[in-house]
Amino acid sequence: MQFAPVLHAEWLKIRTLRSLLGALVAVFVTTTAFSVLAGTSDTSGSEFDLLFTTQAGVYVGQIAAISFGAMAVSAEFRNGALRLSLSAVPQRGHWFAAKTTAIAVPVLTVGLLTALASLFAARAALGPAADGLTAGEQARAVVGCGVYLTLIALFSAGLTMLLRSGVATLSLLIPFILIVSFVIGDAAGTAIEFMPDRAGQVILQQTYDGPLGPWSGLGVTALWTAAALLAGVWSLRRRDA
C-alpha cells in the first residue's frame, strides 16, 4: 500500500479527536503564557538567561506535547482500533511510520508558531532588556523550540507503543520531567545533562557551560526519540494487536 493514503487516514484520526486538538491548543497557550510571565521576572540575577526566558514556557508546554504523543498512540488500544488499522495496513512498520508522521507534522507546525509567539510576547514583557538578543540567537530558539517539542512528542509516542498504555507513559514521563530532571537531577552530576529534556533545552539557552552545545544537545534528544520509536516498532511487530 502507498504511504500517502495511510498517512491521510492517520491524519483524519488525529483531526477528529478533540482531546488531541485540545493538547495542541494547550501547547500554544501554556508555552506563550508562561513565557510572558517569565519575561516579567527580575532580570538582574546572575543565573538569568535572556534567551531561555523568551521560551521559558516550554517547561510547561512540553507536558501538553507529551500528552499529544501519548494520546495519539493510546487511542489505537481502545475498542480494537489497532486490530482494524493493521488489517487495513498489514505492514506494521509502514503503518507506524504514517502514525508518527501524522503526530510530528502538527506538533512541529504548532511548535514553531508557539515559539514565535512566545518570543514576541516575552520580548514585549522584557522591554529594553530584550535588545541584548541577536537575530541568530532568536532564530535558533524559535527553530529549536519547535523541533524540541516535536521530538518530545515522538518520544512519548514511541514509549506509549512500547508500554501499550498512555497512562503508563504519562505517569513515567511527567514526574520525571517535573521532579527527577530538575529537582533531583542536579545531584546526579553530568549524567543528567544527557537526559532527553535537559539535553534538548540547551538549544534555548543563550549561555551554556555543560558538556553539550545547542545542536549537540538537540541531537541527544533525537537519539532518545529514535530509540523510543525503534522500541515501539519492536513492540508492534512482536506482539499481537
Each residue's pLDDT tens digit, 125-175: 888 888 888 999 999 999 999 999 999 999 999 999 999 999 999 999 988
φ and ψ of 90, to 5 deg: -65, -30
User: What pLDDT score does 36 carry?
Assistant: 92
CA atoms within 13 A on the CB side of 199: 22
Q: What is the pTM of this model?
A: 0.93
How many structural domains compose the chain? 1
Q: Give tens-digit pLDDT for 89-137.
A: 888 888 999 999 999 999 999 999 999 999 999 999 888 888 888 999 9
Q: Give tens-digit pLDDT for 12-55.
A: 989 888 999 999 999 999 999 999 998 887 666 657 889 999 99
C-alpha cell, 48: 538569568
Helix (H) or strand (E) holding 53: helix 50-54
139 versus 86: the higher-pLDDT residue is 139
Q: What sign has the CA pseudo-torsion 140, 146, 150, 153? A: positive
Instruction: Name 7's Cβ contacts closer than 8 Å, sequence gap at least 6.
Output: 98, 101, 102
Q: Is the pLDDT of residue 183 over 80?
A: no
**Degrees, nearest 5: CA angle 40-44-47:** 100
Give CA–CA dist 138/199, Å, rounded. 19
Q: Is the pLDDT of residue 236 over 70?
A: yes
Instruction: Name 178's Cβ contacts closer than 8 Å, sequence gap at least 6.
Output: 63
Residue 56, domain extent? 3-238
